[in-house]
Amino acid sequence: MSVNLGFIVLSLVKIVAILAYLYGLFWAMGHANRLVKVAGVVLAFGIIQIALSVQIGETQILNDFDRGLLFQACTMTMVALGLNLIYGFNGQFSLAQWGFYGIGAYTAADITYRWNVRDARGLLVAGIGVILGGLMILAVGRLVRRYQGMPVLSQFTLYLIGSVLAGAVAVVIGNVLNPLLVPLFGTPDAPGILASPAVMQVVFLLAVLIAGAFAAGVSFLFGLPVLTLGSDYFGIATLGFSIVVQTLMVNTDTILPFPEMKGGRGMIGIPKLTTWFWAFLFLLAVIVIMRNLIHSSTGRAIMSVREDETAARAMGIDVAFYKLFAFVMGSFFAGIGGGVYAHYIGFLSPGTFDFLVGFNPLIIVVFGGLGSMTGTIAASFGWIFFLEGLLRVLLSQMGTEAPTWRYVLYPITLLLLMLLRPQGLLGNIEWGFLKRPAVALRARAAGK
């Protein structure tokens, strides 16, 4: 065990360094001077990039294990932030987040996998489907809003018919357009324009965005009827959703028509396209979008639903709309996180998306503090680096039961936290950029 002491100290130093890094990043981003903002972000990106690539003597500052932890922490942050929007800010106890994460991962992976084997259908069908689905939602939404108090089941039926039609049209168009694109891929000996690495990067970006949008679309369809249930029932229904999604993943090649996903054996051969640049970019985008959303009038409406639905309704807030909006946005973030994860790990198996693992983001959100973005981000990074990094290595040296022991310790900590500090470790503390921009708001109000 004496060998481990150095490892423990190093791991703890890493965790503290990561937290300090996050604090510095948010401080810089919250600075009034735009130059400091840009410099801070670039510096934050550069530090890690250098640490990942530069070697000092024999050792790398951040080795492959740390790299994996870092990407895992980024995806977990996106998923947990989405859940915090749904549960922390909007008060809807959702266990479906992990299902949307899995949907995003599989969607994005399928698009780039197919692209890699010279098949543009993945991108075409998913992309066109998402666009048509979005248009359909707008159109049907317009129709639904003409009527007052249309039963939710009828709305759902209309949206369902619409999305089935949109999906069918997308499949037809994709299959028609695909033969036109296939020649552009070239042959393995003479790669065409579409097979070049630059195009692949664009496809990856699109794939992740489409994955997010697709997860958001599914969450819209699912959330529309289910969000009208009471809080506990909503929790159970969303848990059921996660279970169903996992069942479908196990049967992607039998029930669903995706033989390349290989069902329960797991999908292999996903191009590993996630670099620190993309992970950082997506993480930053999610954080900025969410922070601006929270501090806008929409965000205040979302929070008012959490505080008191009746009072919010009395203030003229469309409670059903904001619940659905927060749910869809949260799932969008989860889908993006899934896309990034799939291209970092290169292998997807249904076991990763087991609903028991799906409690992790929930525990992170509760740990960090409901309704605290800083808490969620810090807890995600701390969680991954501490539990996945330090504890996994330490426990695996103590015996073969390491994963089980970790799962024995989680619930105990969760119970203690619930009993001793129900508001989470960081409570309502926000760092730098994530703080409520009081001055800016007041200035705008005065300007009017």
Of 415, 410, 388, 392, nearest to 402 (Cα)?
Answer: 392
What ranges in 30-63 are assigned the alpha helix state H? 34-53
SS3 99: helix
| Residue 124 or 366 with smaller CB distance to other proteins | 366
Q: Select the span of 7-15, 123-131, 156-164, 177-185 touching other proteins (CB under 8 A).
A: 156-164
Contact string (CB under 8 A) for other proteins, positions 75-114, x = contact = ------------------x---------------------
Of 317, 159, 314, nearest to 226 (Cα)?
Answer: 159
Interface with other proteins includes 154 (CB under 8 A)? yes
Using CB under 8 A as the binding rule, the residues of this chain from 24 to 53 that contact other proteins are none
Q: Smallest distance, Å, CB 195 to other proteins?
A: 37
Neighbouring residues of 411: CB distance < 8 A, sequence distance ≥ 6? none
| Residue 239 or 390 with smaller CB distance to other proteins | 239
- The residue count for binding other proteins (CB under 8 A) is 65
Of 90, 93, 133, 94, nearest to 325 (Cα)?
Answer: 90
Round to whole Å and give the CA distance between 109 and 342. 6
| Residue 233 or 277 with smaller CB distance to other proteins | 233
| Residue 2 or 297 with smaller CB distance to other proteins | 297
Helix axes 276-294, 297-307, angle to 10 degrees: 70
Q: Is 333 within 8 Å of 103 (Cβ atoms)?
A: no
Task: For Cα atoms 233, 93, 87, give the angle at the middle one, nearest 5 degrees.
Answer: 160
Interface with other proteins includes 200 (CB under 8 A)? no
Report how far apart the first and last C-alpha atoms of the chain are (Å, whole number): 66
Of 18, 239, 283, 303, the one binding other proteins (CB under 8 A) is: 239
DSSP type of residue 183:
G
Round to whole Å and give the CA distance between 260 and 241. 23
Using CB under 8 A as the binding rule, the residues of this chain from 381 to 420 that contact other proteins are 401, 404-405, 407-408, 410-412, 414-415, 418-419
Residue 436's H or E segment, with its range, is none
Contact string (CB under 8 A) for other proteins, positions 317-346, x = contact = xx--xx------------------------
Neighbouring residues of 420: CB distance < 8 A, sequence distance ≥ 6? none
Give the CA radius of gyration of the chain.
22
Q: Smallest distance, Å, CB 331 to other proteins?
A: 17
Q: Smallest distance, Å, CB 338 to other proteins?
A: 21
| Residue 281 or 414 with smaller CB distance to other proteins | 414
Interface with other proteins includes 197 (CB under 8 A)? no
| Residue 56 or 420 with smaller CB distance to other proteins | 420
- For binding to other proteins (CB under 8 A), which residues are involved? 93, 138, 141-142, 144-158, 160, 225-226, 228-233, 235-237, 239-241, 243-244, 247, 250-251, 254-255, 297, 301, 316-318, 321-322, 356, 359, 362, 366, 401, 404-405, 407-408, 410-412, 414-415, 418-419, 422
